[in-house]
């Protein structure tokens, strides 16, 4: 190896550092990805003040949904837009021509998603506790929170990488990915009780990972009695794990089949 090449471990560390710095230096990205869920919690939680049942107000109920919104924003939405932008402006093509291993690029993106999601979730929990006196999960529920969150982040990150290949540039990606992500969150019960949605909407939502991630998160923040309001009358945590796991595998397959380092017209 020549002295000018970056050692393999250093390539991963360097790429992670670049991804984190580039994201947090972009005021627009931080505002819409990190702060938007917080503003959403403050706005919706203050306006919709009604009792869900069993002493649960809407702000407590909404905590699960807004955390899912933060995860989707940090992974599927953010990656779908910014990877398309890096492809269209030639960044990906340039990176592919460097000694950096291709896997370092994806590791950097994954760490960025994890960091952004962690910051977003932490802010939401702090706001929930300080502003709405939100009850935090018990010790056992934190374990559920961890595996639901990690599986959901993995599935949505892989889908974000895959859908980035559908748009030729950042503007087109934003017009495609943002409305699709918003629609997916709406039909998945992120912004309102899932049981209030029409049955056919529930059926469609059940095909996608966001619905199951939201259901798993509700099991963490809501009392067991509210599981009766779910379509199956329970939290179905086994099925949550199964569906999210399937979407992780499907997302990986889609990434391997669709990801490209440059625009089709450049070949």
- pLDDT tens by residue, 90-142: 999 999 888 889 999 999 999 999 999 999 999 999 999 999 999 999 888 99
Query: Is it the case that residue 5 has pLDDT exceeding 80?
Result: no
Q: What is the mean pLDDT of residues 178-198?
A: 93
Please give the pLDDT value at position 6.
46
How confident is the model at residue 1, as a pLDDT?
Answer: 37
Whole-number average pLDDT of the chain: 91
Flag whether pLDDT at 265 surpasses 70.
Answer: no
CA–CA–CA angle 247, 175, 33 (5° rounding): 65
Long-range CB contacts (within 8 A, 24+) of 150-154: 151/213, 151/241, 151/244, 151/245, 151/248, 152/68, 152/71, 152/209, 152/210, 152/212, 152/213, 152/216, 152/244, 153/71, 153/74, 153/75, 153/113, 153/114, 153/117, 154/244, 154/248, 154/251
Q: Which tokens hold the place of 102?
A: 């291709």
How confident is residue 267, by pLDDT bands cut at 50, 70 and 90? low
C-alpha 102/C-alpha 123 separation (Å) is: 33
């Amino acid at each position: 190896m020549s002295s000018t090449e970056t050692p393999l471990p250093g390539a991963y560390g360097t790429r992670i550092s670049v991804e984190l710095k580039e994201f947090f230096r972009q005021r627009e990205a931080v505002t819409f990805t990190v702060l938007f869920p917080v503003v959403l919690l403050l706005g919706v939680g203050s306006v919709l003040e009604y009792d869900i049942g069993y002493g649960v107000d809407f702000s407590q109920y909404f905590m699960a949904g807004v955390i899912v919104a933060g995860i989707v924003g940090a992974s599927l939405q953010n990656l779908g837009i910014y990877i398309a932008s890096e492809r269209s402006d030639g960044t990906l093509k340039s990176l592919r021509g460097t000694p950096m291993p291709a896997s370092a690029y994806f590791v950097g993106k994954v760490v960025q998603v994890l960091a952004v999601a962690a910051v977003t979730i932490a802010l939401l929990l702090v706001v929930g506790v300080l502003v709405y006196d939100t009850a935090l999960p018990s010790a056992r529920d934190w374990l559920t929170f961890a595996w639901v969150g990690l599986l959901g982040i993995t599935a949505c990150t892989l889908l974000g990488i895959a859908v980035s290949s559908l748009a030729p540039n950042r503007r087109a990606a934003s017009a495609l990915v943002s409305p699709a992500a918003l629609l997916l969150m709406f039909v998945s019960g992120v912004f309102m009780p899932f049981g209030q949605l029409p049955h056919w909407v529930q059926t469609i939502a059940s095909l996608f990972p966001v619905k199951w991630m939201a259901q798993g998160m509700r099991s963490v923040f809501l009392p067991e009695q509210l599981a009766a309001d779910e379509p199956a009358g329970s939290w179905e945590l086994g099925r949550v794990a199964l569906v999210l796991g399937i979407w992780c595998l499907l997302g990986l397959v889609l990434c391997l089949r669709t990801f490209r380092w440059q625009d089709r017209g450049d070949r």
